[in-house]
């Protein structure tokens, strides 16, 4: 048994107090993060500065006593490392020079990947050396469909229209892009694992709105290939899949992708998830971040419902998506204290 509760859960063990961490736990809701972000000059400068990235990765662990730290980085580091221009613009978010068809793939190259990712690996090493003994370190990458959607559109967007236009009209060409991302993501994740990451999460944030055959081809199959390669090379490192918006395809994703745990989005019906997912598979989630914005007894009531609903299987408490920047920090602190007190604080 590991001294790290999160690792025990990922090995199929139920904990009386489910371990917890929060997506976007290092972020703008924290005044100390905002101070470091201003010092860095830009978001990418912060990601690529190991000392500063280490500092913001550790901030929520120190303030909230979470059971895991997650590397401070971004899912778009992979396309950036492949040579795609990337800028984070105030009020717009990430903006990339779009890759629109097979003829654009020559712009992507693996030659720069390790050089670009070296500062990220250094952050992982520094965080791993600074964490308390009970806290696990999570590395991550974006899901291949999600990252490809950004790369094709050149920016974020909920409908993934540009990616669908390419994937549906030229599936073989789109598969070629996914293969490039698969190779790069494998290299990137193995670099994190070698540097000290103990868990990997794959953020397939835009898994929703895909027809069933497209979900199979562009979400499940690329994830399966990536997970299989990771397990062949680093088999003892558990992998959490986050197919946000998978809905009724959640069980199929869990069974076919090979992940060790599934993170549930806020809209997932927990009774459906519990009945659909393989017995004993660990689950993570799934408090809506807006409940933390509301705070108080309402937040605790919803957290209690989730904890009770998932009490019969290995469970990591988390959000259904990341904290929003305007989340009151005292609400987050109250939630962390509530979770540390579970089940004594059960209503």
Q: Using CA atoms, how far apart are residues 248 and 49, in angstroms rounded to an integer? A: 41
Q: Using CA atoms, how far apart are residues 52 and 69, in angstroms rounded to an integer? A: 15
Evaluate the CA torsion angle 235, 240, 244, 250 in order and state its sign. positive
Q: Find, among 324, 319, 326, 242, the residue nearest to 288 by Cα.
A: 319
| Strand-pair partners of 317 | 20, 285
Yes or no: say if 306 and 270 are a contact pair by the CB < 8 Å rule.
yes
Evaluate the CA torsion angle 257, 311, 331, 50 in order and state its sign. negative
Q: Using CA atoms, how far apart are residues 108 and 79, in angstroms rounded to an integer? A: 8
Catalytic residue annotation: 24, 28, 37, 74, 150
Q: Using CA atoms, how far apart are residues 70 and 137, in angstroms rounded to an integer? A: 6
Q: Find, among 163, 236, 235, 154, the residue nearest to 204 by Cα.
A: 163
Q: Using CA atoms, how far apart are residues 217 and 232, in angstroms rounded to an integer? A: 22
């Amino acid at each position: 048994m590991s001294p790290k509760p999160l690792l025990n859960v990922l090995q199929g063990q139920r904990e009386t107090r489910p371990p917890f961490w929060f997506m976007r736990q290092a972020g703008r809701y924290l005044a100390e993060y905002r101070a470091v972000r201003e010092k860095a000059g830009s978001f990418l400068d912060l990601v690529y500065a190991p000392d500063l990235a280490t500092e913001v990765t550790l901030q929520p662990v120190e303030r909230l006593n979470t059971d895991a730290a997650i590397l401070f980085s971004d899912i778009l580091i992979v396309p950036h490392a492949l040579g795609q221009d990337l800028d984070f613009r105030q009020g717009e978010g990430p903006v990339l020079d779009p890759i629109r068809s097979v003829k654009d793939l020559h712009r992507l190259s693996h030659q720069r990947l390790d050089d670009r990712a070296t500062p990220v690996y250094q952050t992982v090493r520094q965080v791993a050396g600074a964490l308390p003994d009970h806290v696990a370190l999570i590395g991550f990458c974006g899901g291949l469909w999600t990252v490809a959607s950004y790369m094709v559109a050149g920016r974020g967007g909920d409908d993934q229209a540009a990616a669908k236009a390419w994937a549906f009209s030229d599936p073989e060409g789109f598969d070629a892009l996914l293969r490039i991302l698969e190779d790069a993501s494998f290299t990137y994740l193995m670099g994190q694992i070698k540097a000290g990451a103990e868990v990997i999460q794959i953020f397939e944030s835009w898994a929703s709105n895909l027809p069933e055959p497209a979900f199979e081809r562009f979400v499940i199959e690329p994830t399966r290939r990536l997970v299989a390669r990771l397990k062949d090379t680093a088999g003892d490192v558990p992998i959490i899949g986050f197919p946000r918006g998978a809905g009724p395809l959640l069980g199929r994703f869990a069974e076919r992708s090979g992940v060790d745990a599934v993170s549930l989005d806020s809209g997932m019906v927990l009774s459906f998830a519990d009945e659909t997912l393989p017995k004993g598979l660990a689950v993570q989630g799934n408090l809506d971040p807006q409940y933390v914005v509301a705070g108080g007894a309402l937040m605790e009531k919803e957290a209690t419902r989730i904890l009770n609903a998932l009490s019969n299987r290995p469970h990591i408490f988390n959000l259904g998506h990341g904290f929003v920047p305007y989340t009151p920090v005292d609400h987050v602190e109250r939630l962390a204290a509530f979770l540390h007190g579970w089940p004594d604080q059960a209503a």
